[in-house]
């Protein structure tokens, strides 16, 4: 039995991932943004070991979530599933003064990782749209460029892959991978998506719990258990290190080498 923490597990792919892991007999701690969603999550997934709350669009709330997760752990696997899409027609700024997609999709998993005991396995959810990502380190969050929500989302998903690769390089004792779950029929994916919900969760469940040698290889970008080539920028060591420096500057937390 593994102990697993899944962020953003109130609905969609995160909920299906947590459900499948609970069904397989693992100890699963889940997460919802607020108490209303947490209550719904307790009702829909009574087998969860604990339900934690935390708004990932807030640095303070993310820090509190990290503390709560540390108390609920330790975890063999952490799955950073939570994220927001790029459908907004306007740039949304959080209470911390950060662009919302960037904060939830990139800053939050970085901060949770930096503040948490290292698990044996770490999984970051990305998207096939990472291939369209472009990292402008002069303006990562569209503060000065014309707003483009889907481009901001694509950029954030590229950053998630780069972050996964950077962690895999810095922490050789942790199996770290990025997963594209596919275009899944969820509220975010929409009704026209091509992939069923269980298919969108299956790779994460496998990576989190399997002892097969192929599940224990670090530093990959996977879709449906198949290792693919990611956006070339994600492999650039300078890009990885610059991203870590930016996130350390925002959060005040540094990810140290092993």
| Residues known to be catalytic | 153, 157
Q: Give me 100's structure tokens.
A: 């919302």
CB pairs under 8 A, 24+ apart, for 26-31?
Answer: 26/1, 26/2, 26/208, 26/209, 27/1, 27/2, 27/3, 28/3, 28/4, 29/3, 29/4, 29/5, 29/69, 29/72, 29/73, 29/75, 30/5, 30/6, 31/5, 31/6, 31/7, 31/65, 31/69, 31/82
Q: Give me 228's structure tokens.
A: 């693919």
d(CA 13, CA 187): 10
Residues β-bridged to residue 122: 78, 176
Q: What is the DSSP string of 85-118?
A: -S--SS--B-TTSSBHHHIIIIIHHHHHHHHSPP
d(CA 179, CA 200): 10
Convert 17-33 to b/e letters by CB count within 10 Å (16 or more is b). Answer: bbbbbbeeebbbbbbbb
Run of H or E residues at 67: helix 59-72
Q: How far apart are the first and last CA of the chain?
A: 26
């Amino acid at each position: 039995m593994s102990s697993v923490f899944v962020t953003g597990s109130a609905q969609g792919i995160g909920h299906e991932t947590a459900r499948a892991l609970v069904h397989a007999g693992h100890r699963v701690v889940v997460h919802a943004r607020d108490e209303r969603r947490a209550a719904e999550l307790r009702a829909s997934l009574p087998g969860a070991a604990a339900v934690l709350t935390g708004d990932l669009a807030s640095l303070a709330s993310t820090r509190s979530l990290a503390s709560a997760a540390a108390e609920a752990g330790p975890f063999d696997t952490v799955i950073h599933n939570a994220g927001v899409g790029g459908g907004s027609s306007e740039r949304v700024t959080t209470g911390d003064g950060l662009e919302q997609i960037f904060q939830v999709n990139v800053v939050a998993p970085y901060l949770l990782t930096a503040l948490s005991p290292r698990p044996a396995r770490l999984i970051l959810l990305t998207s096939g749209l990472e291939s369209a990502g472009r990292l402008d380190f002069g303006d990562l969050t569209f503060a000065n460029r014309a707003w483009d929500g889907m481009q901001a989302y694509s950029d954030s998903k590229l950053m998630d892959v780069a972050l996964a690769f950077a962690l895999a390089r810095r922490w050789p004792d942790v199996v770290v991978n990025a997963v594209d779950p596919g275009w899944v029929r969820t509220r975010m994916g929409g009704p026209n998506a091509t992939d069923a919900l269980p298919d969108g969760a299956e790779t994460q469940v496998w990576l989190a719990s399997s002892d097969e040698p192929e599940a224990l290889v670090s530093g990959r970008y996977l879709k449906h258990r198949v290792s693919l080539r990611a956006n070339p920028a994600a492999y650039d060591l300078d890009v990885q290190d610059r991203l870590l420096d930016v996130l350390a500057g925002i959060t005040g937390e540094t990810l140290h080498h092993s």
